[in-house]
Structure 1
C-alpha cells in the first residue's frame, strides 16, 4: 500500500469516526448538530495521531536515556505527568494541558491545546490519551499521571464502568498498553496542578496548539 493511499485511508476513517462520535453526542447528550465541530474534531485527531502512529515501530520501543524517578504501589515510574482542563462559555470554550517531568524536575515534554470538547471531563480524557501517546512515542513505558478528577481516576483504575465516551478513551489506552506502556492515574488536589490548569485556561482565551518536543507552536 502506497503512502498516499495510507494517508487517504487515515483521513477517511478519522472523518467517519468523528461523524459517528458527533452523532452520539447529538443522540445521547442533546448536543445541537454542528458540521463545523466535526471538521475541527477530524483535523484535531488527524494531527494528534498521525505523528504518533506513522512512526517506525522502533521509535515506539526504543530505550530512552532517562532515570527512574518515582515509586508508587511497588512500581517504579520514569516520568510524572500532570493533566488538567478548563472551559469558558465564551471565547474559545474548552482546552487542556499536560506537563511531564522527571525526578530531577526537568520538563521532558508538555502540551497545550484548544479543543471542541463539550465539557472539562471530555477535554481531560483527550489530555490523558494525548499525553500517554506522547510518552509512548518518546520511549517512556512507565508513567504516573496526576489528575484532580475522581471519576476519571475511578474509570482508569477499573473501579467504575465507563460510559460510551470513556470506553473510547479506555480503548486508546488499551492499545498503548499492548505497545508496552504501563500507566497509573492517581487523584491529587487541584492546587498540585495549578500551573498546568493555568495553561489550559490560557488556551480558552486564544486558540492554541502547542506540543514540545517534536511539534511546532501554532496559534491561529
Structure 2
C-alpha cells in the first residue's frame, strides 16, 4: 500500500506543477516540489488511514453541512464501458455547471478490475480537473448502482477500489464536497419497479416506462435542479403493498418521503438507512410490522419522523435518540416496548413526542427530562409506573400539551406542577395519583383542559381552579376530593 500511496502523491504533485507550467508559465522550484510531496504524504496517510477504518463512523472525514440540492458548482455525469473481447475497461465523464454549460469532458482507459472501480477512477480524474477550475462542490450522477453503493458506504470488496476510495477521502480532506446519486433514468426505473410490486393505484398513472424522461412531472415527485428526485409525496394515495422492492440505494439525495395513510405492510427494510439526506420521513397510518430497524438512526439529517399507527413491535431502539436534529417524533399506536431507558440521550430540538398506545412499562422515561424544548408530550395508554420526576417540572417549562392518561403513575402530585405555566392541556386521568390537588393550579393560567379523573386525590378541590379563566373542560370525577 505504501508504494501506491507514494505513487499517488508523486502523480498528484506532478499534475499540480504541470498546471503551473502549462497555464501560468511558471517553472516550479524543486525545493517547493519536495515540500509539497512531504505535505501530501502526511495528508494522504491520514486519508488512507480513514479509509482502512471506514466501518467506524468516526473515522470518516466530516464534510460541511450541505443540503442535498446544493449549492453545487459542478454536476458531473460518469459512465463506464467494458470491451469483453479485449478485456479492457474505459470511462467517460462530462461536467456541466448549474446553468447547464459544459465545463469539460473526457474519455480514458482504466486498469480497474470492477465496474465501480472504473467510475471511482473517473471520479478522481474529474475532481483533479475541477480543481484546476477552483470548483470543489461536485455532485456526481451515475447509472451504476454498485458505484453509488460503494461510494456511499465507503467500502469496497476489491483492494484497488479501496485505494481509490482513499484518494477520494484525500480530496475531501483538501476541501472537496462530494455527493453521488443515481441518474434520473435510474431513479425512474427504480420507481417503476416498486410500482409494479404494488396493487394498481390511480395515483401512479403517470409512472410508466415510456415516460422515463419525464420523471420530474410524475405525480408526487419533486426534483432537484439536477433533475434527480428530492421528494416523494404519496400520502393518501391508496397504495397497497410493501417497501421490499423499493431501491433505497438509488435515492441517496432524497430529502422528503411521505407515505402516510396508505395500506403498506411488511417490515421496514434496513436499507432505509441509505437515505442519508432525508429530513422528513412519514410512514404513519399504514400496516408496517416487525421491529423498527436501527438503521433509521443513520439518517442523521432527519428532522421529522412518524411511524404512528402501525403494527410495529419489539424494543424502541435507543439509537433513535441520536437523531439530534429531530423536532417531531411520533411512535404512537404500535406495540412497542422499552424496559430500560438509560441508554437514551436527550434530544435538544425535540418539540413533539408521542409514545401513546404502546406497551411501555417501567417509570417515566428519564431522557425526556433532558428534552427541554418539548411543547407536546403524550405517554398515554401505556403501563408506566412511579411518580412524575421533579425534573419534568423544572426542565419542561415549554410544555403546552401533557398527557399521561391511562397509565399506572402514582404518588402525590407535586406543587411544582405549577411551573408548567404554559400548559393548555393537562390530562392525568385514570392513574394512581393520591394526596391533595395542588393549590397553585391558577399559575397555569392558559389551561383549557384539565383532567384528573379516576385517581385517588383527596381533600378539598382548590379554589385556585376557579381562577383558570381559559378553562373549557374540567374532569375531576372518581376521586375522594370535595
TM-score using structure 1 length: 0.53
Which residues of structure 1 form unaligned runs of 5+?
1-12, 19-41, 60-70, 193-220
Contact 1:48 1:130 in 2 (8 A): no
1:114 Cα deviation from its structure 2 partner: 1.7
Matched with 2:15 is 51
Q: Aligned to 1:142, which of 137, 145, 152?
A: 137
1:119 Cα deviation from its structure 2 partner: 3.5
Contact 1:96 1:123 in 2 (8 A): yes
Q: Aligned to 2:178, which of 179, 183, 200?
A: 183
Change (3 A) 1:116 1:171: closer
Contact 2:96 2:103 in 1 (8 A): yes
Q: What is the RMSD of the two structures over their aligned residues, measured on CA atoms?
A: 3.7
Contact 2:120 2:165 in 1 (8 A): no
Question: Which gives a bigger RCO, structure 1 or 2 (Cα 8 Å, sep 6+)?
Answer: 1
Q: Report which of the two has the higher share of helix.
A: 1
Matched with 1:156 is 151
1:103 Cα deviation from its structure 2 partner: 2.3
1:45 Cα deviation from its structure 2 partner: 10
Mapped to 2, the partners of 1:52 and 1:146 lie a distance apart of 26
SS in 2 for 1:162: coil
Change (3 A) 1:106 1:54: same
Which residues of structure 2 form unaligned runs of 5+?
25-65, 189-482
Aligned runs of 1:1-220 on 2, under 5 Å? 16-17=3-4, 50-52=14-16, 73-91=68-86, 93-158=88-153, 161-163=155-157, 164-188=159-183, 189=185
- Paired positions, count: 142
Contact 1:147 1:186 in 2 (8 A): yes
Matched with 1:25 is none
Mapped to 1, the partners of 2:133 and 2:163 lie a distance apart of 23
Larger radius of gyration: 2
Mapped to 1, the partners of 2:87 and 2:94 lie a distance apart of 21
Mapped to 1, the partners of 2:178 and 2:116 lie a distance apart of 19
1:91 Cα deviation from its structure 2 partner: 4.2
Mapped to 2, the partners of 1:178 and 1:81 lie a distance apart of 20
Contact 1:87 1:119 in 2 (8 A): no
Change (3 A) 1:77 1:173: same
Mapped to 2, the partners of 1:53 and 1:175 lie a distance apart of 18
